[in-house]
Amino acid sequence: MKGRLKRHIVLIGMMGAGKTVIGTELARRLHVGFTDSDVEIESAAAMSISEIFARDGEAFFRDRETQVLARLLKGTPGVISTGGGAWMRAENRELISAQALSIWLNCDLETLWHRVRQRQTRPLLQTSNPKAVLTELLAARNPVYALAEMSFPSQSGETVEAATSRLLEAIRKTQPDLLEMK
Ligand SMILES: Nc1ncnc2c1ncn2[C@@H]1O[C@H](COP(=O)(O)OP(=O)(O)O)[C@@H](O)[C@H]1O
Ligand SMILES: O=C(O)C1=C[C@@H](OP(=O)(O)O)[C@@H](O)[C@H](O)C1
Ligand SMILES: [Mg+2]
């Protein structure tokens, strides 16, 4: 069975909210394609996100991010996971809102910190006080994330599978015309 979406589903939210893992699982359940803007940027550059930040800087990365999003949004509707900063750029919000249902994976600070603290893959958190940076970024970004079309609250302790089931249920309920199965 192949699923069909009327528009893309774009996951937004903070580092560690689960955009990559939940997006992967959501696409699998819906039988639609999955892409992650970070992965697309890394493969085009043949470098990791950390290497891109170190060599070319954040501004360069943000421009690549906008290019990748514009390209992905032109494709067959599927699930697209963004990086945590993508929704901060007005141009990206406009691109996404024109072609997609945007969903904010809304997650509290302690849960985010628990999930990201062991990982070395996020250059913005490679500082002497990563929790302070995460706290500040979250406070600055939450009002902008709240502009997403739909908000999905994370429940700490929930498995990725259970969270995806709950998300799918919420999408079916609020967006009955988005999903077509054939
Ligand atoms: N309920 C949950 N929802 C999302 N992620 C979860 C959950 N429980 C545990 N995790 C873990 O949290 C991490 C989320 O990371 P990731 O998907 O890379 O987030 P993002 O792409 O938003 O930065 C993963 O290691 C995932 O296994
Ligand atoms: O929040 C951000 O600004 C970033 C989040 C990362 O993606 P995840 O949110 O998937 O970790 C990645 O795009 C980059 O490290 C910058
Ligand atoms: Mg991710």
What is the per-residue pLDDT across 121-152, written as a single tens digit (0 to 9) for each? 999 999 999 999 999 999 999 999 999 999 99
Can you tell me the distance from the alpha carbon of 30 to that of 145, in angstroms, rounded to the nearest whole number? Answer: 24
Q: Please spell the DSSP secondary structure of 118-161, one letter per residue.
A: T----GGG-SS-HHHHHHHHHHHHHHHHTTSSEEEE--TT--HH
Closest ligand 1 atom to 15 CA = 23
CA of 62 to the centre of ligand 2 (A): 10
Question: Which run of H or E residues covers position 57?
Answer: none
* Cβ of residue 18 lying under 6 Å from some atom of ligand 1: yes
**Residue in this structure with the two tokens 């970024």, named with its chain if needed:** 137
Instruction: Give the number of the atom of ligand 1 that is nearest the alpha carbon of residue 22.
Output: 4
pLDDT by residue for the chain (182 residues), tens digit each? Answer: 577 899 999 999 999 999 999 999 999 999 999 999 999 999 999 999 999 999 999 999 999 999 999 999 999 999 999 999 999 999 999 999 999 999 999 999 999 999 999 888 999 999 999 999 999 999 999 999 999 999 999 998 999 999 999 999 999 999 999 987 65
Q: How far is the CA of 56 from the centre of ligand 2 (A)?
A: 16
Q: Residues annotated as binding site for Mg(2+)?
A: 20
ipTM over 0.85: yes
Whole-angstrom distance between the N-terminal and C-terminal Cα of the chain?
A: 6
| Domains detected in the chain | 3-181 (3.40.50.300)
- Judge if the beta carbon of residue 122 lies within 6 A of ligand 1: no
Q: Where are the alpha helices (DSSP H) in the chain?
A: 19-30, 37-45, 49-56, 58-74, 90-99, 109-116, 130-145, 160-174
Q: Is 123 in the pocket of ligand 2 (CB under 6 A)?
A: yes
